[in-house]
């Protein structure tokens, strides 16, 4: 019996020490690389939550891919809300710094996105609190890029960058350099 009790204590000690090593490593990995998030609301319909409130999509947010604040037009990103720093919102990148954009109800009809900012919008116009409400967003609020829909299982897919019809910059500086 003493042998079994000693083995049990060794097992417990190994488990506890492993736990205290594994948890910080896991938290660091999730913080640095990726994590999952539930998408609520109608602002990104029909790409996300096509069924509405009856079934919410869960997405993989890739933090590693945005570590240097690199995003492209059409990416769906998670940002810290400019209106409420305790909340994260998910929207599509429509324009990058230096791009000229025709807004949808912002105080200026046309706008040049300032340096260090980008323009984000929900795909479901009229049901989205986005740059048309609060203006260009600081790139420093970027939190992650949605790379995959992982729930529900029938919607598993990679999310590819794309711009909705008639949205995007009026002048793309990269195309002007030819």
Residues 126-153 have pLDDT tens digits of 888 999 999 999 999 998 999 989 888 8
Return contacts of 67-72, CB within 8 angstroms, 24+ apart. 67/32, 69/139, 69/140, 69/142, 71/96, 71/118, 71/139, 71/142, 71/145, 72/96, 72/161
pLDDT for res 176 = 45
**Is the domain of 139 the same as that of 163?**
yes
Q: Do 98 and 117 form a contact (C-beta atoms < 8 A)?
A: no
| Active-site entry in 43, 78, 131, 147 | 43
**Is the domain of 19 the same as that of 76?**
no
Residue 43 bears catalytic tag = yes
pLDDT for res 28 = 57
pLDDT for res 63 = 81
Average pLDDT over residues 36-65: 83
**pLDDT-based confidence at 16, cuts 50/70/90?**
low
The helix/strand count (H/E) of the chain reads as 3, 10
Average pLDDT over residues 20-38: 65
**Is the domain of 28 the same as that of 70?**
no
| Active-site entry in 78, 91, 128, 147 | 91
pLDDT for res 119 = 96
Average pLDDT over residues 70-90: 92
**Is the domain of 48 the same as that of 81?**
yes
Average pLDDT over residues 149-164: 90
**pLDDT-based confidence at 32, cuts 50/70/90?**
low
How many domains does the chain contain in total? 2
């Amino acid at each position: 019996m003493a042998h079994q009790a000693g083995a049990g204590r060794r097992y417990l000690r190994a488990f506890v020490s492993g736990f205290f090593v594994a948890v910080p490593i896991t938290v660091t990995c999730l913080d640095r690389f990726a994590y999952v998030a539930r998408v609520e609301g109608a602002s990104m319909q029909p790409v996300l939550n096509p069924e509405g409130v009856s079934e919410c999509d869960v997405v993989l947010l890739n933090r590693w891919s945005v570590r240097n604040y690199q995003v492209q037009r059409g990416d769906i990103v998670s940002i810290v809300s400019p209106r409420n720093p305790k909340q994260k919102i998910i929207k599509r990148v429509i324009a990058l710094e230096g791009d000229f954009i025709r807004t949808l109800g912002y105080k200026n009809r046309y706008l040049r996105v300032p340096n260090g900012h980008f323009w984000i919008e929900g795909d479901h116009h009229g049901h989205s609190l986005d740059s048309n409400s609060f203006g260009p967003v600081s790139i420093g609020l970027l939190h992650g890029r949605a790379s995959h829909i992982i729930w529900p299982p029938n919607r598993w897919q990679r999310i590819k960058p794309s711009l909705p019809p008639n949205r995007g910059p009026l002048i793309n500086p990269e195309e002007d350099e030819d």
